Structure 1
């Protein structure tokens, strides 16, 4: 006998199984939709179950699985580290410990301690931030510089694009200063790519560059990641010729 209320012979559809959040007094519609999406997001549930601080941890895990980014003993700088999911993944993948920390993270937001990670509470866009990171690294070169930084969006596509490009540029400039030969640079981008000049610069300094959109990155988001591998060294003489 078919259950008329379900219309599926007693089996609920995926739509029926979703958690619905009722609007509450004082709560914006956008906030209600965000809460509903979080409650129905399998990556949020996985992050909670596996002890990660955010679903974003799975973005870097998936990129690592596909592009083989981390190895034991690597030194990693995490720009825009809060709440710490990427640093957690990096610490585990590199074997970083409190006795021998290999990961340095920075963010202007407060973060609880992470085993094997040195955390700096600082806005990376401030002039003295790079020097603080280099000091925290003990003067050693990094094997990976990864950035999940993003400005709060304004809703104006052109403005938001310019702002994210600025963040990538300062992150990339820092990476060129601190990466060891063969190093990797990873950065969040939006709207399908980066400006031509920035991508051209990265191609000069890295053997390969590519864009990635890991499954954990929501399909309806313009977010993607730029991965540059095989750092060749900083071109101090300004020669634009590609190798």
Structure 2
């Protein structure tokens, strides 16, 4: 019974969520688009001509935001967007998509081949592993995803590039922040207004490789 009530409450909250309505109006595939928009605005990141890698991209709202920001005055896209996810993604014009598990070497190699030696200006990751509810196991999964994003960034970011990842407050969070500080000159935590109040998600932004 409690589960049924929870799903009804969630549906009610979702339908009345102003960001859900705004996403529908603007043609974004998910309300998460506004989280990235806030972070990009606050950090003054991303401009036409840059190369962006979107990890865990499906359904594609973050790639949609990036695409808008890489558009020139004539509407053409200046730069590259390479999106990656285990799940399929409906095509987005101007976005190169790789379907595969980021944790597998073969998929990473495919991503590297697609980059053709180009350095990356921005890596974005809204990835969240499937959580079990067991604190220690979940903390390890979250940390693993963040570590992979950090490793990829260390190899492929320009010296002045940036990484945005989703993390969660709780067990293991301080270790993720420490790992960011070892790799980047500037690290900030951001909780966008579009994040739900009850959510423990916090986005970490690392800028400038050490």
Q: Above 0.5 in TM-score?
A: yes
Q: Indicate the larger mover: 189-198 or 143-152.
A: 189-198
- The match for 1:102 is 80
Gaps of 5+ in 2: none
* 1:66-95 deviations in Å (ceiling 9; x for gaps): 111111211100000000000110111122
Gaps of 5+ in 1: 1-22, 233-243
1:73 aligns to 2:49 (yes or no): yes
Q: Report which structure shows greater RCO (CA 8 Å, sep ≥6).
A: 2
Deviation at 1:159, TM superposition (A): 2.0
1:212/1:227 contact within 8 Å kept: yes
RMSD: 2.1
Give the greater-gyration-radius structure (CA). Answer: 1
Number of aligned positions between the proteins? 207
What is the TM-score normalised by the length of structure 1? 0.79
Residues 67 and 101 of structure 1, relative CA distance in 2, 3 Å threshold: closer
Bigger helix share = 2
1:93 aligns to 2:37 (yes or no): no
Q: 2:200 aligns with which of 199, 222, 229?
A: 222
- 1:156-175 to structure 2, matched below 5 A, reads 156-175=134-153
1:206 aligns to 2:203 (yes or no): no
Q: 2:95 aligns with which of 117, 126, 134?
A: 117
Q: Distance in 2 between matches of 1:28 and 1:94?
A: 43
1:40 aligns to 2:16 (yes or no): yes
1:102 aligns to what SS in structure 2? strand
Q: 2:60 aligns with which of 74, 80, 84?
A: 84
Bigger strand share = 2
- The match for 1:186 is 164
